[in-house]
């Protein structure tokens, strides 16, 4: 066998080995790079749906869950509260039929603003400057409203909202409270962050 044949064989072996090592190195570099495109566990948790069990929630009670770093209020409304919403003077509200889109399309624009009339689901952030209003369910004169019928009051700048999150006229808040996408699993589980229509 000539030296030329040995050199060609050796050259092929070296080229093959170098190519294999290079390919392994390229894959080794690509895997962490591609993995960096995936959201972190913290990012996944921040956008993950929030689940709430309302089976023990009594009329008048509120529970709060966190979704995307925001408080989401879930309020169980009793018969008296629902009757108060139905009989409320719509002229006191800035947007009584929710014409400004602060809720998913499947939420009715009636006084309930809810999938289930007895349960209100609202993002607990004032639409004025981002404060978190207080839940004031008691009917009766308050320092901020002599004819208060229950709802939410923002102590930062005085915005008032009814039990469906509709803003009162004269409030600094320009729009109703936001209703997040949500759906029900059975009667007692609410999943915030997932649309009812896409369930």
Looking up residue 67, the CATH number of its domain turns out to be 2.102.10.10
Q: What is the Cα–Cα distance from 61 to 38, expressed in whole angstroms?
A: 39
Dihedral angle of Cα 8, 9, 13, 14, to the nearest 10 degrees = -30
Name the β-bridge partners of 183.
Answer: 191
pLDDT of residue 23: 66
Statement to judge: residues 150 and 75 lie in one domain = yes
Helix (H, G, I), strand (E, B) or coil at 76: strand
Statement to judge: residues 28 and 101 lie in one domain = no
pLDDT of residue 172: 95
Residue 198 lies in a domain: no
Q: What is the Cα–Cα distance from 43 to 116, expressed in whole angstroms?
A: 31
Residue 49 lies in a domain: yes
What pLDDT, in 10s, does the model give residues 159-199?
Answer: 999 999 999 999 999 999 999 999 999 989 999 998 876 54
For residue 12, the enclosing domain spans 1-38
Q: What is the Cα–Cα distance from 66 to 64, expressed in whole angstroms?
A: 7
pLDDT of residue 40: 54
Statement to judge: residues 30 and 72 lie in one domain = no
Statement to judge: residues 9 and 54 lie in one domain = no
Statement to judge: residues 14 and 76 lie in one domain = no
What pLDDT, in 10s, does the model give residues 28-37?
Answer: 666 665 555 5
Residue 113 lies in a domain: yes
Closest CA to 106 of 9, 179, 187: 179
Query: CB-based burial of residue 162 (10 Å sphere; 0-12 exposed, 13-18 middle, 19+ buried)?
Result: buried
Q: What is the Cα–Cα distance from 161 to 182, expressed in whole angstroms?
A: 21
pLDDT of residue 139: 85
Statement to judge: residues 27 and 73 lie in one domain = no
Statement to judge: residues 30 and 3 lie in one domain = yes
For residue 160, the Cα-to-chain-centroid distance in whole angstroms is: 21
pLDDT of residue 9: 72
pLDDT of residue 126: 95
Residue 27 lies in a domain: yes
State the maximum Cα–Cα separation within the chain, in Å, rounded to a whole number: 109
**Segment-wise mean pLDDT, segments of 10 residues, the chain, 199 residues:** 64 74 68 58 66 94 94 94 88 93 91 94 92 90 89 93 95 95 93 78
Statement to judge: residues 50 and 32 lie in one domain = no
Helix (H) or strand (E) holding 170: none
Asked whether 74 and 190 are in contact (CB, 8 A), the reply is yes
The number of domains in the chain is 2
pTM for the model: 0.74
Statement to judge: residues 84 and 176 lie in one domain = yes
Asked whether 137 and 81 are in contact (CB, 8 A), the reply is yes
Residue 197 lies in a domain: no
Q: What is the Cα–Cα distance from 97 to 119, expressed in whole angstroms?
A: 18
pLDDT of residue 26: 67
Statement to judge: residues 171 and 91 lie in one domain = yes
Residue with tokens 């009594």: 58
């Amino acid at each position: 066998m000539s030296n030329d044949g040995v050199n060609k064989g050796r050259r092929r072996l070296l080229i093959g080995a170098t190519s294999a090592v290079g390919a392994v190195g390229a894959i080794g570099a690509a895997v962490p790079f591609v993995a960096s495109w995936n959201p972190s566990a913290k990012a996944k948790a921040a956008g993950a749906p929030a689940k709430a069990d309302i089976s023990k929630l009594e009329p008048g009670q509120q529970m709060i869950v966190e979704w995307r770093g925001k408080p989401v209020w879930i309020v169980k409304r009793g018969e008296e509260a629902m009757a108060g919403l139905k009989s409320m003077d719509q002229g006191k509200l800035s947007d009584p039929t929710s014409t400004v889109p602060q809720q998913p399309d499947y939420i009715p624009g009636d006084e309930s603003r809810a999938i289930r009339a007895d349960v209100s689901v609202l993002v607990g952030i004032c639409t004025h400057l981002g404060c978190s209003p207080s839940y004031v369910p008691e009917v009766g004169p308050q320092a901020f409203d002599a004819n208060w019928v229950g709802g939410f009051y923002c102590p930062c700048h005085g915005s008032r909202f009814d039990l469906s999150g509709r803003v009162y006229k004269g409030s600094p808040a320009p729009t109703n409270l936001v209703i997040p996408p949500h759906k029900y699993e059975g009667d007692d589980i609410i999943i915030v962050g997932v649309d009812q229509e896409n369930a």
